[in-house]
Structure 1
């Protein structure tokens, strides 16, 4: 079983608005409302890929009920903890004429220590029957920045493989808790490394440096694939994995689709490089759909032939 933990889930509403211009009145061409939040998006893709997954986290109010009902409609198992305050709603505006998208995300509810303790208790119970646990997304109000680190340590004691995808101070504290895998995007990786990246070698060096902060493996997603420093045959190996970019309908959630593909392949016991290739194919295919966490598994398989994984030499600065 795979667990996804989303502490700040949402209802994600995407509007297609041709020639969107701030300050003007518009009519949407199309709209879609689905359960969202990083971990929820990953759970959706895992289900589409045929993997056993259960989504847990924190929900509240009528919006929380709609999140659970939406996931149930997609046959995703859920085990959320209910809180007093209302879950959030996020809005994205996609302009099909330019491909530009604008996101407006609510902060989310305030969560008490007692509510977090209830989640931790449920998570430990679920983790006893799981082999992989993903912690993903932002933290709602009221939770300390070390919340993911705290939950991660509790799950690691049970021998569960842990994966983290968040940002800011929660990410910095989570990597110190020594997760098995951390998967930032380029901006999040720059924040961890404390500098802007200037080229491929600098990006490759960064993923190696990130593992020195605590995680066993680091994967940095970029628009056409990823840079990864992973354990293979008992040794750490550096990879650049890439695919020819597709003309995107919407890039929203492509990183979540990548991570879901990677986790699905890892759950199936594929080699590290095949996990990365499958993740990149999933991320690329998801850009062909409006709405996060949407892809066609059959198209993913066809895209795999175009995903190239290239081993890289370790930068001299980090040897």
Structure 2
């Protein structure tokens, strides 16, 4: 089983306009609401691919019915700790003219010491039956910056841990040596101070992280330049696929969901990166965090190009 942990879930409202101009009145072309939060987005993709997954974390009690109804509709197993507050609403404004997405994210509810103890116990319980545990996203107010590190340290046995966060959360979390981290190039630069002017810079920085923190894989999403998967002895480069981009919201989560689902089945990094690339690419063709379907996944498989560049970067 793959367990996803979302400490700060959200209801994502996506608004599409022709052009977004500061200080102007805009006419909305379309809008939609999706249930989000990075871990929930990952669980949605794994579930769509017919993987065995459960989403855990915190959930605001005041508007829990909307999120729980969605999870039930999509047949996603969930086991959230309820907080006596409301789950945040994040607003994404998609500018069609400039092909940009501007995000306005609420902070979310505040949690307390007893909530932290509850999530620690839940992580311990689910680790016993999980092959992978994926910790994703921001944290609500009241969480210490080192909480991911503490939670990862609680995962024992053969369960592999994945961390997708940024800033101090990632900087502290890697100290617990997760199996895989998934920064984008901006997070790589801002969190670790790594220069990202070229692929070689990214590879060097990722290899330093692998060695320093004893991490097996660093999966770096590079936007229009594709993605790269780095380990101590293998480097794979996925070329970007040209599509009509509607929104970048949730693309990294979809990529991670596709990657981990595939890796959990065959432990083939080449195939996992291929499947992750397909899911991440399809995500940007949708508005908000709405899902693609299995037929679209199968149809795009042939368009993915993965190059093993290990010889080029590891032995120069």
Deviation track 1:236-284 (CA, whole Å, cap 9, x = no partner) reads: 2111111333221112111111001001101222411110111011111
Choose from 252, 255, 277 the match for 2:252.
255
Runs (4+) of structure 1 moved beyond 4 Å? none
Structure 1 gaps of 5+ residues are: none
CA contact (8 A) 1:256 1:293 kept: no
Distance across 1 between alignment mates of 2:136 and 2:149: 12
Find out whether 1:165 has 2:159 as its counterpart: no
* TM-score, with length taken from structure 1: 0.93
Distance across 2 between alignment mates of 1:256 and 1:67: 18
CA displacement at 1:61 relative to structure 2: 2.8
Distance across 2 between alignment mates of 1:149 and 1:311: 32
Greater displacement, 82-91 / 47-56: 82-91
Deviation track 1:69-102 (CA, whole Å, cap 9, x = no partner) reads: 2222221111000123322110011123432221
CA displacement at 1:213 relative to structure 2: 2.9
CA contact (8 A) 1:285 1:296 kept: no
Distance across 1 between alignment mates of 2:80 and 2:207: 35
Structure 2 gaps of 5+ residues are: none
Find out whether 1:40 has 2:34 as its counterpart: no
Distance across 2 between alignment mates of 1:244 and 1:69: 34
Counterpart for residue 127 of structure 2: 127
What does 1:173-252 correspond to in 2, within 5 Å?
173-214=172-213, 215-223=215-223, 224-230=225-231, 236-252=233-249
Greater displacement, 3-12 / 88-97: 88-97
3-state DSSP of counterpart to 2:15: strand
Distance across 2 between alignment mates of 1:272 and 1:299: 22
* TM-score, with length taken from structure 2: 0.93
Distance across 2 between alignment mates of 1:285 and 1:260: 12
What does 1:282-293 correspond to in 2, within 5 Å?
282-292=279-289
3-state DSSP of counterpart to 1:236: coil
Distance across 1 between alignment mates of 2:281 and 2:60: 33
Distance across 2 between alignment mates of 1:126 and 1:256: 21
Deviation track 1:194-237 (CA, whole Å, cap 9, x = no partner) reads: 1331111111212211212312211111114211113xxxx721
CA contact (8 A) 1:207 1:227 kept: no
Query: Does the C-alpha gap of structure 1 residues 63 and 261 become closer, same or farther in structure 2, counting only changes over 3 Å?
Result: same
CA contact (8 A) 2:168 2:191 kept: no
3-state DSSP of counterpart to 2:123: helix
CA displacement at 1:65 relative to structure 2: 3.4
Choose from 285, 300, 305 the match for 1:303.
300
3-state DSSP of counterpart to 1:213: helix
3-state DSSP of counterpart to 2:157: coil
Query: Does the C-alpha gap of structure 1 residues 182 and 314 become closer, same or farther in structure 2, counting only changes over 3 Å?
Result: farther
Distance across 2 between alignment mates of 1:68 and 1:148: 25
Counterpart for residue 6 of structure 1: 6
3-state DSSP of counterpart to 1:251: coil
Counterpart for residue 146 of structure 1: 146
Counterpart for residue 25 of structure 1: 25
Q: Please provide the CA RMSD for this pair.
A: 1.8
CA displacement at 1:191 relative to structure 2: 2.6
Distance across 1 between alignment mates of 2:166 and 2:145: 10
Distance across 2 between alignment mates of 1:270 and 1:195: 28
Distance across 2 between alignment mates of 1:247 and 1:207: 30
